[in-house]
Amino acid sequence: MPTPNVVALPNYDDVRKRIEAVEDAEIQNCLKTVYLYAGRISEVVGKASLGDSKTTARGPKGNDVILDHYQFRDQEQPVIVFTVRTAKRQGIERKIGIPINFEPWAKGLYDYFQERKDKIVFPFTRQTVWAHSRDVFKELSYSIDRYSVLRDGQLVSVPTHPRAFRLHALRHLRASELVSFYGFDGFGLATYGGWKYATMARTSSVMDRYLSLSWQSYIEKLFKMRK
């Protein structure tokens, strides 16, 4: 049995540059939002295609972001705070805090949201964004770890294999960036990305809901300047 061809995630800065080079402002800002959310595309887009039973569009309105502040080393740091309705968790809200002075995309996204006020920020479907992503992330790929699926009543193991880098890969890449560049632990990553705490800490569903609102618990890790 040959050793699976493991393909590493692309470089964070390369993917960021590709997104910044997108000429369509709506698509560029949509991809930036998906990335910074460490989100699923359904948490960002405002519409679902007819017949798309897999997508409940939970995308934000312009007023789903606020400007807040956090005291850090005797300085008050401006932080934009997104309200995200988490997919696969019945839309439970989580708060994502992003420091303006340390994340180059933060201020531009805040302004973009504010211009739309109570309107849907990204009034299109995931299919629309996916079509653009084929060109944006052309030739990029990453590995999907081995997993099991049920087929014809049998549990079948699917070996590690490469997959084209598209929208869901942004969630994996941002999670990797949060851990390897910013030093997040599993608890902080769950808070930020909307993963269930119960899988790692046996927290109750009630506590789970409150912890997802705690952007202050990890924000100091994001006070790190990008090169």
What's the whole-number mean pLDDT along residues 20-26? Answer: 97
d(CA 97, CA 83): 9
Let me know if residue 184 belongs to a domain: yes
Residue 3: predicted pLDDT: 47
Is 83 a domain residue?
yes
Check: CB of residue 8 under 8 Å from CB of residue 143. Answer: yes
Q: Pull the structure tokens for residue 20.
A: 């910044």
What pLDDT sits at residue 153?
A: 72
Q: Is position 148 within any domain?
A: yes
Residue 197 lies in a domain: yes
pLDDT > 70: percent of the chain: 86
Answer whether residue 36 is part of any domain. Answer: yes
Rounded to whole angstroms, how far apart are CA atoms 49 and 224? 39
Q: Which domain CATH number covers 144?
A: 1.10.443
* 170 occurs within a structural domain: yes
Q: In this structure, is residue 135 part of a structural domain? A: yes
Confidence label for 2 from pLDDT (cuts 50, 70 and 90)? very low
Task: Report the domain count for the chain.
Answer: 1
- Structural domain of 178: 12-222
**pTM over the 0.75 mark:** yes
Q: What is the pLDDT of residues 97-114, one digit of tens each?
A: 999 999 999 999 999 999
Average of per-residue pLDDT values in the chain: 88
The residues facing 81 across adjacent strands are: 66, 97
The whole-angstrom separation of Cα 43 and Cα 204 is 24
- Report the alpha-carbon distance of residue 26 to residue 122 in Å, rounded: 7
When pLDDT is averaged across residues 35-52 and rounded to a whole number, the result is 93
Report the pLDDT value the prediction gives residue 1, as an integer from 0 to 100: 43
Kindly state whether residue 46 falls inside one of the protein's structural domains.
yes
Residue 198 banded pLDDT, cuts 50, 70, 90: low
pLDDT attached to residue 157: 72
pLDDT in tens, 31-40: 999 999 999 9
Which tokens sit at 216?
Answer: 């202050």
Share of residues in the chain with pLDDT > 90 (%): 67
